[in-house]
Structure 1
Amino acid sequence: MSAAALAAAACAAPKIRRLGRVDYEATLAQMRAFTDARDADTPDELWLLEHPPVFTQGQAGKVEHVLAAGDIPVVQADRGGQVTYHGPGQLVVYFLIDLHRRGFGIRSLVTRIEQGMIGVLRQYGIVAYADPAAPGVYVDDAAGTRMKIGSLGLRVRKGCTYHGLALNVAMDLEPFSRINPCGYQGLRMTQTSALGGPRQVGEAGDALLEHLLAQLENPNPASTEDGRP
């Protein structure tokens, strides 16, 4: 590929795939296959979807953070981070991104993802923020107690990413009580529908996508406000 073609590919908007509600393990296999098969000409993609109920354990995950899985399966994943929960009513976005072609480091992509979530929450009047020491997006309740609303975990393979973010929209939050979410004991979870934001995954996906695409074009994502007053 010529230098001009590489530059054009780096600036191209990713292909968007809306997959609906799909099995976690099957989707993981598809992400791996896509990443292994791609080359310098392969367009980046964003996959928007939901999963049936499943706990996923990251590469560094510790078994003690799964407190009582019950009837929900626990699947070992190859992303970063600890255990989390996916289920209906949660928006999942997977990032099939060629980091080298876009000139991103992994921290830069994480920042872009966090700022995309913060931006869409701000659109609905929800004050949210990121924490460099604990990737994800958070809001505070009236008493100032932190609650997590968006999680993320990525894997880099052949200079390309897969896995991505999970934004809680309108889901049953009870399964989070069966784990230490992201490895943090007592971490409270919340969702957009409880805070005046989107009540449907489709609405959340359309709104978030606009912010994510803007962040992928943002030359300096760290300059974006974190959402706090």
Structure 2
Amino acid sequence: MDLYMATKPGPIEWQINKIPVDYAAAVAEMERRVAAIRDGAKPELVWLLDHPPLYTAGTSAREEDLLDPHYLPVHHTGRGGRYTYHGPGQRIAYVMLDLSRRERDVRCHVHRLEEWLIRTLARFDVQGERREGRVGVWVVRADGAEEKIAAIGVRVRRWVTYHGLALNIDPELAHYRGIVPCGIAEHGVTSLAALGVAATMTEVDAALRTTFAEIFEAASSPEMPCRLPHSREKIAKITD
């Protein structure tokens, strides 16, 4: 058996699914892969996919944020965060990295996920921004309103990360009506398509691969400092 144990990060495997993946099956596959990464049996993995329409409830989900429990299937999951929507037209990236080979700092990991999204959006001339205390990436409309374009929720098991992020490319935004997305009622959600950007999934995937290397392969260099805009309480995580 090939072993991937190392003191430094090795090659990262990429997997792309072209058709929606059942959510429960995806979580089970992530958990198997996380165990294999921790044991040194498999390399780290970035998995790009989407799901059939559904809601997921993170570990901080509040009952009152599920506005219509019958609108779409609801999956309770071990990732951090509250309610979010997944469906076709999103690019979901499940990121399985061993922080023992990088930095054992979950806030830094979340910061870099945000930076990854911001740089990817910049490839399409969209300015993504952070907001202190609101994990994820936001855009500001011409009228000053802020809307969320990408959500982040992670879990960490024995310092191996999983779950990850969801970037709205051209999803059915009306499906968000059954929840309060991420527990934030005062701001809306948007997508590249809603912003007038006609990006294909293939184009977004290519941008994600390029910018991932900029962020995570340079993670320990002075060019990629880890700023911490979120308190530890705001970082949606579980470690076990």
TM-score, with structure 2 as normaliser = 0.85
Query: Structure 1 CA distance, aligned partners of 2:119 and 2:112?
Result: 10
- Deviation track 1:160-181 (CA, whole Å, cap 9, x = no partner) reads 0110000000110011121110
Query: Structure 2 CA distance, aligned partners of 1:104 and 1:55?
Result: 30
Residue 193 of structure 1, CA deviation:
1.7
**Quick check: 206-215 or 145-154, which moved more?**
206-215
| 1:116 aligned counterpart, secondary structure | helix
Q: 1:15 to 1:206 in 2, by over 3 A?
A: same
Query: Structure 1 CA distance, aligned partners of 2:169 and 2:35?
Result: 32
CA RMSD of aligned residues (A): 1.9
| 2:47 aligned counterpart, secondary structure | strand
Residue 40 of structure 1, CA deviation:
3.5
| 2:156 aligned counterpart, secondary structure | strand
- Deviation track 1:91-141 (CA, whole Å, cap 9, x = no partner) reads 000011101112241111111111111111112211110123111000011
Contact 2:145/2:187 (8 A) holds in 1: no
Query: Which residue is 1:150 aligned to?
Result: 150
Please point out which of 12, 15, 18 is paired with 2:13.
Answer: 15
Query: Structure 1 CA distance, aligned partners of 2:69 and 2:87?
Result: 13
Query: Which residue is 1:108 aligned to?
Result: 108
Unaligned runs of 5+ in 2: 230-240
Q: 1:223 to 1:79 in 2, by over 3 A?
A: closer
Query: Which residue is 2:25 aligned to?
Result: 26
1:202 aligns with 2:202: yes
**Quick check: 143-152 or 194-203, which moved more?**
194-203
Contact 2:147/2:189 (8 A) holds in 1: yes
| 2:6 aligned counterpart, secondary structure | helix
Unaligned runs of 5+ in 1: none
Instruction: Map 1:38-57 to 2 at 5 A.
Output: 38=37, 39-40=39-40, 42-57=42-57
Q: 1:71 to 1:48 in 2, by over 3 A?
A: same
Query: Structure 2 CA distance, aligned partners of 1:81 and 1:149?
Result: 16
Query: Structure 2 CA distance, aligned partners of 1:70 and 1:110?
Result: 32
Give the percent of matched residue pairs that are identical in Structure 1 and Structure 2: 34
Hey, which bits of structure 1, 4+ residues long, moved more than 4 A?
A: none
Query: Structure 2 CA distance, aligned partners of 1:141 and 1:28?
Result: 34
Residue 64 of structure 1, CA deviation:
0.9
Q: 1:44 to 1:62 in 2, by over 3 A?
A: same
Q: 1:6 to 1:36 in 2, by over 3 A?
A: closer
Aligned residues, how many?
A: 219
Q: 1:31 to 1:64 in 2, by over 3 A?
A: same
Residue 198 of structure 1, CA deviation:
4.7
Contact 2:112/2:226 (8 A) holds in 1: no
| 2:193 aligned counterpart, secondary structure | helix
Query: Structure 2 CA distance, aligned partners of 1:81 and 1:14?
Result: 26
- Deviation track 1:3-49 (CA, whole Å, cap 9, x = no partner) reads xx724x41x34100112320111101111121123313531100000
Structure number with the higher helix fraction is 1
TM-score, with structure 1 as normaliser = 0.89
Query: Structure 2 CA distance, aligned partners of 1:93 and 1:56?
Result: 15
**Quick check: 33-42 or 57-66, which moved more?**
33-42
Residue 85 of structure 1, CA deviation:
0.2
